[in-house]
Amino acid sequence: MYFCPNCSNLLLVQSDGAQQQLYCQTCPYIYPIVKTIVQRKALERKQVDDVLGGDDAWANVDQTEASCPRCEHDRAYYMQIQTRSADEPMTTFYKCCDLKCGWQWKE
């Protein structure tokens, strides 16, 4: 992608007979293409954000009686977060209290 040096808008490719050129839609800037332009840039992936706050989010939460779907342990940590619009009920997130399991689920 190339941008206009005058107004910073994206330059588009236009064929003018046998010659191609980059042009700006908002100002009169034109840049003739005289050779093949190839540029490659590796994609830099962003780190995934943990919407629940990571492991620290579970540090000070309460426990309740809830059956773990994985190990069937009868206690789980829980927290409630508003994940949808305000007129929808809150989503309850659970984490199994069994240290060997630690399974997380939501309702």
Binding residues: 4, 7, 24, 27, 68, 71, 96, 101
> What is the DSSP track for 1-44?
--B-TTT-PBPEEEEETTEEEEE-SSS--EEEE-S---------
C-alpha distances (whole Å) from 59 to each of 54, 69, 82, 92 are: 10, 22, 19, 16
Binding-site positions for Zn(2+) = 4, 7, 24, 27, 68, 71, 96, 101
